[in-house]
Amino acid sequence: MNKHIGRLAVTAAALTFATEALATEWNVSVWGKRRAFTEHIEKMAELVSEKTNGEFTMNVSYGGLSKNRENLDGISIGAFEMAQFCAGYHRDKNRAITVLELPFLGVENLDQEVAVARAVYAHPAVAEEMEQWNARLLMTSPMPQYNLVGTGEPRDTLAKMEGMRVRATGGIGEAFKAVGATPTSVTATEAFQAMESGVVDTVAFAQHAHLAFGTINEATWWTSNLNPGTVNCPVVVNIDAYNDLSDENRAALDSSIEESIAHYLANYAALLDRWDSVLAENNVAKIELADSDIAAFREKAGPIHQKWIEDMTAAGLPAQELYDLVNAELAKAKMAN
């Protein structure tokens, strides 16, 4: 009897070990807190677990694995299997996708943002640059056009932006520089403190980030129609970890991308629907710039596009091809809408 029980115990232990050996657990590095910006990642974790009956799981860590500026480095050395990063945090490491951060590209909504990002991510030069970091682009984190929050007198004309200290990264920062402002690229998690302490006068974010990082709580006004551009923040996976997935787990991951993006878009749409009430609750005035000021802003930012093409071409990238791809895909997406 005891021998029989002993054999059963050994068999149970062996089965447990085999089950654990088959299970795949990924660590995912993001930052801040759960918000609209991370909902596709949370949905992805939910879907892959469902599709694999819990054999493939993801642990989403909000700042516990890496600093936001170091997520791409962490992916490159295999410190974690998946991460989110923003191109403007280290433009020299992901030069090709910064085409998506050029100001005034003309993107009007999140569906168009997804379309142009998907096309750029699929370009061989983009994939090759990411491979240097052992990273595979999985999906984008589409964001609306950025707008400013600030305190004091509203910066409702270009003239009032002269000398303005603004938290803005990438092409948006370059655009503000073109109109005489001084951009600084403090991270999203540092933005509230920078605003509260007076390091910056204004902060450029999409709506979810003004909420998530508390800048809306410090603000007295918000620009509703400046729309200078947005930043591009991909979700990437470590190439070795991706290749090591079983066929079933890889299929679960790949087949969950579109549903995760669709969930993100629906969730963000709900946030935009209630944005006016958020402003009212926080006593934040909604201001509009005159069409003439926006046109002048766009004109001053125009040379940034050509300079990007020249600089990236000199760096060995097919810059004109990438730029033309963005415009072609955007035109196609607008026709589809």
Regions of the chain where pLDDT drops below 70: 1-21
pLDDT at position 7 is 52
Give the chain's domains with CATH numbers.
23-141+232-271 (3.40.190.170), 147-230+275-336 (3.40.190.170)
**pTM, rounded to two decimals:** 0.88
pLDDT of 125 reads 98
Nearest to 287 by CA among 127, 92, 147, 119: 147
pLDDT at 2: 52
CA-based torsion, 151, 155, 161, 162: positive or negative: negative
The CA-CA-CA angle for residues 206, 212, 217, to 5°, reads 90
* Alpha carbons 23 and 188: distance in angstroms, whole number: 35
**Angle at which helices 110-121 and 319-336 cross, to 10°:** 140
pLDDT given for residue 185 in this prediction: 85
| Helix (H) or strand (E) segment spanning residue 197 | none
Q: Which residues contact 107 (CB under 8 A, 6 or more apart)?
A: 113, 116, 145, 230, 330
Collapsing DSSP states into helix, strand and coil, what is residue 4? helix
